[in-house]
Structure formats: structure tokens, C-alpha cells
Amino acid sequence: AQSVTQPDIHITVSEGASLELRCNYSYGATPYLFWYVQSPGQGLQLLLKYFSGDTLVQGIKGFEAEFKRSQSSFNLRKPSVHWSDAAEYFCAVRSNFGNEKLTFGTGTRLTIIP
Amino acid sequence: EPEVTQTPSHQVTQMGQEVILRCVPISNHLYFYWYRQILGQKVEFLVSFYNNEISEKSEIFDDQFSVERPDGSNFTLKIRSTKLEDSAMYFCASSEGTEETQYFGPGTRLLVL
């Protein structure tokens, strides 16, 4: 069964600092990988996704993520965070065999300090 | 930009009552989903729906749950007899195809008393 681990429950960074949120997945083949963001009181917004091809994917709001097969990881990065990036970030995995469900990690809450 | 909408945004109900959560998926999407997120826990898949049939469901989606597409635009989740543990945020999502991105609505926060 597929699973996702986000080892960091809560991360605090200073505005303008760089950010890396960790995500590790467990799946027998190359999965489809996603990062979603949830702002307080809001739904889940897709930041970026990886299906195949270039292992470095660019998303919205200046985020990027790198798929590393050898490490079963799909870490999310941003070179310089803004106060508006404070939110909950979820990594998700989906099978590439027609199984439709997304399996989410437990999320990482990001706090930005001035 | 088209988006998934959900109503109501909040619902409070008594244990044992029936609730219906409503969703309007993106208009050209064919695949519909319900997920839930119990407070402080991860988002969990409940069910997927295509061509007026359930295509996949989780073990959470037992006989007290049902889904329906009553017309060309709405997609509903019914909980027949709510339990305290059904209290959660329920998210609807839709996609153009199984290979496509799932777009989520803002959620309905359900509180069962």
C-alpha cells in the first residue's frame, strides 16, 4: 500500500529565509506526487505535481520540488519565503495504475516570523 | 478560474441525524471524490465516483455513507445516521480524468453533537 511520511510537524522560518519541507513516500513503482497547501479556513490548493520526466518541477508561488527516486523523496523548496506562505503543507501520492485515490501525509505547519 | 464549490461551509447536527453535504464540481470534470480530515489528522480518501457509479471506496466508507449525482451539476455525500466520530472537515474534489489533477473545494466542517 502506498504511504507518505512528512517528518516535520511544524517548521518556523524567518521571512526571506529559504525553506525545505520534507516528504518521503512508500510505493512499489514510480508514483504520481503532489504538494498541496491549505491556508487557514481554506481548501487544498495544488502547488505542484510530478508525473514523469524532469525530476525538478516548478509550481505556483515560487515553489519547486525535486523527485529523488533513490531516496523515495519529494521535498518542497522555496528560496525566500513570504509571510503569506504561512499555511499547512501536504504531500500526497497516487498510484500510476489507474487507482485514483490520493494518499496524504500528516502535513507540515509552516510559521513565518518577521 | 473554475473552482469546486461546497455547501454548507459549516454544519452542526445531532448524533443519529442524517446530513447531506453538497458539492458542485468543475463543469467539464468527470471524476468526483470525497475526502475527510478529522481535526489534527491527515486528509483521508473516502470515495471516488465516475459515470454514476462508485469506482473506489475506502474502508471508512461504510453503509452509513452514500454518494449521488442527482443532476448534471451537484455531487452529494449523505451520512445516514451521524456519529460523534464523523465530526470532520469534508472535502469534495473533481478531475477531468483519472490521470489528471484533483481540484479540491473549500470543505464543509461537520460537527456532530
Mean confidence (pLDDT) of chain B: 93
Q: Are A101 and B106 within 8 A, CB to CB?
A: no
> pLDDT, tens digit, for every residue of B52-75?
999 999 999 999 999 999 887 899
Per the listing, cell 461551509 goes with B9
Tell me which chain A residues have a C-beta less than 8 angstroms from the C-beta of B91. Answer: 43-44
3-state SS, chain A, equals CCEEECCCCEEEEECCCCEEECCEEECCCCCEEEEEEECCCCCEEEEEEECCCCCEEECHHHCEEEEEHHHCEEEEEECCCCHHHCEEEEEEEECCCCCCCCEECCCEEEEEEC
Question: What average pLDDT does range B93-103 have in this prediction?
Answer: 87
Q: Is the pLDDT of residue B110 over 80?
A: yes
Residue ranges, chain A, pLDDT below 50 = none
**What are the grid coordinates assigned to A2, written together?**
502506498
Q: Is the pLDDT of residue B20 over 80?
A: yes
Question: What average pLDDT does range B12-23 have in this prediction?
Answer: 97
**According to the model, what pLDDT value does residue A43 have?**
82
**According to the model, what pLDDT value does residue A62 have?**
96
When CB atoms are compared, the residue of A51, A99, A102 closest to B102 is A102
A46 and chain B in contact, CB less than 8 A: yes
Instruction: Report the chain A residue with the minimal C-alpha distance to residue B9.
Output: A41
Question: Which residues 16-35 in chain A show a CB within 8 A of chain B?
Answer: 34
**According to the model, what pLDDT value does residue B26 have?**
94
**What are the grid coordinates assigned to A89, written together?**
503543507
Q: Is the pLDDT of residue B1 over 80?
A: no
Q: Which residues pair with B20 in a beta bridge?
A: B78
When CB atoms are compared, the residue of B93, B98, B104 closest to A98 is B98
State percent of chain B over pLDDT 70: 100
**According to the model, what pLDDT value does residue A99 have?**
62
Q: Is the pLDDT of residue B44 over 80?
A: yes
**According to the model, what pLDDT value does residue B100 have?**
81
**According to the model, what pLDDT value does residue A1 have?**
75
Q: Are A44 and B4 within 8 A, CB to CB?
A: no
- Considering only residues B71 and B10, tell me which one the structure prediction assigns the higher pLDDT: B10
Q: Are B104 and A45 within 8 A, CB to CB?
A: yes
**Contact indicator for B112, B88 with CB cutoff of 8 Å:** no
